[in-house]
């Protein structure tokens, strides 16, 4: 009795400490590294949300989605169109000032829209083998980008490669997150406010993921991942559950996209290239497929890596050779590529794997598949 209470108490204590650290983090980063880095941390939070969304698809259900960024793009464009003066250009009669909806109306809409697209895309391919899904999602990501690039004529919907700018900043109950606010005597600059907003949503995604993982649905997903035939023999409706995983991952992608558009104030097709999809996939694979904390670690590492490279690679090369031979951007991609290969060869369950996944991937000899 005493023991159980102690355990609960310790766990609660741990949680309180974690929350306190997270709440103080922006002040620490701001004081130690500067405001630029806090902005980078904000972006890292968005990436973590994306990676957690993809983790549902790749990590839990074992479906390789290579066009995940397309759902992010859907969410971003959703908010860009419904909270900017842009539509006034395409339909000046209908919307003389453009459209300016609150983000809390747009969030569920973009989650639904992205989730619906996920279902549409998944339905024809999910009954096939996994490799097809990878290619079709890859193609879908490209199609979305081609459309965003070209839907500026004859009707200017997306403004083409220039993208949509002057997107309304996110505001909550009349408080704009784009300006410094004083709340309870604290002075909170814009980046701090966005950090807390993203922290809230990331926490929400983590919470939902955790609940899912331990639910009937989550167990069914993992059963499908480990052996689809055995899973369906156990009475699991594999097709519907795979669709659900796909839709749910897509919806999370849509939500993060919406937040991204509000934070950045500008979207263009360039932000949604295949390489972004690959980067999010890298976060999931490197961190540990199917393990929430592993994925968070992967997201944090890979979102901060380009900044670290930018601050280290160029000066080092300048000092050694007097010029920049390898630009940090291509070095980053090169490292991603090698990381994917090496992790799969030597640490297939990721840097911080979940226990289930590690057991599953270490059983090397699988039954004869070609027979």
Partner 1 sequence: MEIFLQQIINGLVQGSVYALVALGYTMVYGILGLINFAHGEVVMMGAMVALSALSVMAGLPPLVSLPLSLFLAISVCMALGYGIERIAYRPLRHAPRLAPLITAIGVSIVLQNLAMLIWGRDYHSFPQLFANHAHRIGGAIINDIQIVIVVAAFLMMAGLMLVVHRTRLGRAMRAVAENQHAAQLMGVDVNRVVSITFMIGSALAAVAGVMVSANYGLAHYYMGFLLGLKAFTAAVLGGIGNLRGAMLGGLLLGLIESLGAGYIGDITGGFMGSQYQDVFAFLVLIAVLIFRPSGLLGERLAERA
Strand partners, 187: 182
Size of the site for partner 1 (CB under 8 A): 53
Q: According to the binding rule CB under 8 A, does residue 138 interact with partner 1?
A: yes
Q: Can you tell me the distance from the alpha carbon of 42 to that of 48, in angstroms, rounded to the nearest whole number?
A: 10
Q: According to the binding rule CB under 8 A, does residue 244 interact with partner 1?
A: no
159's tokens: 């403004």
Q: Can you tell me the distance from the alpha carbon of 296 to that of 51, in angstroms, rounded to the nearest whole number?
A: 8
Q: According to the binding rule CB under 8 A, does residue 338 interact with partner 1?
A: yes
Q: According to the binding rule CB under 8 A, does residue 356 interact with partner 1?
A: no
Number of helices (H), then strands (E), in the chain: 14, 6
Q: According to the binding rule CB under 8 A, does residue 307 interact with partner 1?
A: no
- CB of residue 273 to partner 1, shortest distance in Å: 11
The residue within the footprint of partner 1, chosen from 21, 146, 172, 308 (CB under 8 A), is 146
Which C-beta is closer to partner 1: that of 41 or that of 58? Answer: 58
Contacts with partner 1 in 257-296 (CB under 8 A)?
274-275, 278, 281, 285
Which C-beta is closer to partner 1: that of 260 or that of 336? Answer: 336
Q: Can you tell me the distance from the alpha carbon of 80 to that of 254, in angstroms, rounded to the nearest whole number?
A: 12
Contacts of 2 (CB under 8 A, 6+ apart): none
- CB of residue 85 to partner 1, shortest distance in Å: 25
The distance in angstroms from the start CA to the end CA of the chain is 56
Q: According to the binding rule CB under 8 A, does residue 364 interact with partner 1?
A: yes
Q: According to the binding rule CB under 8 A, does residue 172 interact with partner 1?
A: no
Q: According to the binding rule CB under 8 A, does residue 15 interact with partner 1?
A: no
Q: According to the binding rule CB under 8 A, does residue 337 interact with partner 1?
A: yes
- CB of residue 224 to partner 1, shortest distance in Å: 12
The residue within the footprint of partner 1, chosen from 26, 53, 62, 115 (CB under 8 A), is 62
46's tokens: 């968005």
Q: Which one of 1-9, 22-30, 43-51, 344-352 is the stretch in contact with partner 1 (CB under 8 A)?
A: 344-352
Q: According to the binding rule CB under 8 A, does residue 233 interact with partner 1?
A: no
Torsion of CA 123, 128, 130, 133, to 10 degrees: -40
Residue linked to tokens 């505001």: 171
Contacts of 116 (CB under 8 A, 6+ apart): 247
> Rounded to whole angstroms, what are the CA distances from 203 to 18, 107, 196, 208?
12, 16, 10, 9
E strand or H helix at 99:
strand 99-100
Torsion of CA 304, 80, 111, 120, to 10 degrees: -100
Q: According to the binding rule CB under 8 A, does residue 134 interact with partner 1?
A: yes
Whether the Cβ atoms of residue 35 and residue 197 lie closer than 8 Å to each other: no
Q: According to the binding rule CB under 8 A, does residue 143 interact with partner 1?
A: yes
The residue within the footprint of partner 1, chosen from 48, 49, 58, 90 (CB under 8 A), is 58
Residues engaged in binding partner 1 (CB under 8 A): 58, 62, 64, 66, 124-125, 127-132, 134-136, 138-140, 142-143, 146-147, 149-150, 154, 229, 274-275, 278, 281, 285, 326, 330, 333-334, 336-341, 344-345, 348, 360-361, 364-366, 368-371
């Amino acid at each position: 009795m005493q023991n159980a209470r102690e355990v609960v108490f310790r766990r609660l204590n741990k949680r309180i400490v974690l929350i306190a650290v997270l709440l103080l983090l922006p002040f620490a980063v701001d004081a130690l590294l500067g405001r630029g880095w806090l902005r980078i941390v904000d972006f890292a939070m968005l990436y973590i949300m994306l990676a957690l969304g993809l983790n549902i698809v790749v990590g839990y259900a074992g479906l390789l989605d290579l066009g995940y960024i397309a759902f992010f793009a859907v969410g971003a464009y959703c908010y860009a169109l419904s909270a900017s003066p842009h539509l006034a250009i395409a339909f000046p009669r209908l919307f003389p000032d453009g459209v300016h909806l609150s983000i809390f109306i747009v969030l569920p809409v973009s989650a639904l829209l992205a989730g619906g697209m996920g279902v549409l895309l998944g339905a024809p391919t999910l009954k096939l083998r996994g490799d097809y899904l990878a290619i079709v999602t890859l193609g879908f990501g490209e199609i979305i980008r081609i459309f965003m690039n070209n839907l500026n004529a004859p009707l200017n919907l997306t403004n083409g490669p220039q993208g949509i700018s002057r997107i309304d900043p996110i505001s909550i109950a009349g408080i704009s997150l784009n300006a410094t606010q004083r709340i309870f005597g604290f002075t909170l600059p814009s980046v701090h406010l966005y950090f807390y907003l993203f922290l809230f949503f990331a926490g929400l995604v983590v919470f939902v993921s955790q609940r899912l993982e331990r639910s009937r649905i989550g167990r069914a997903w993992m059963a499908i991942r480990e052996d689809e035939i055995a899973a369906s023999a156990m009475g699991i409706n594999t097709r519907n559950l795979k669709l659900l995983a796909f839709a749910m991952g897509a919806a999370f992608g849509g939500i993060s996209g919406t937040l991204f558009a509000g934070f950045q104030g500008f979207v263009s097709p360039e932000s949604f290239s295949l390489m972004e999809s690959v980067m999010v996939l890298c976060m999931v694979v490197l961190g540990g497929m199917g393990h929430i904390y592993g994925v968070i670690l992967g997201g944090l590492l890979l979102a901060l890596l380009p900044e670290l490279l930018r601050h280290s690679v160029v000066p080092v090369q300048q000092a050694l050779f007097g010029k920049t031979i390898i630009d940090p951007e291509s070095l980053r991609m090169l490292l991603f590529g090698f990381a994917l290969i090496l992790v799969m060869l030597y640490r297939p369950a990721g840097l911080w794997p979940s226990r289930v996944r590690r057991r599953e991937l270490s059983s090397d000899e699988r039954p004869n598949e070609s027979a």
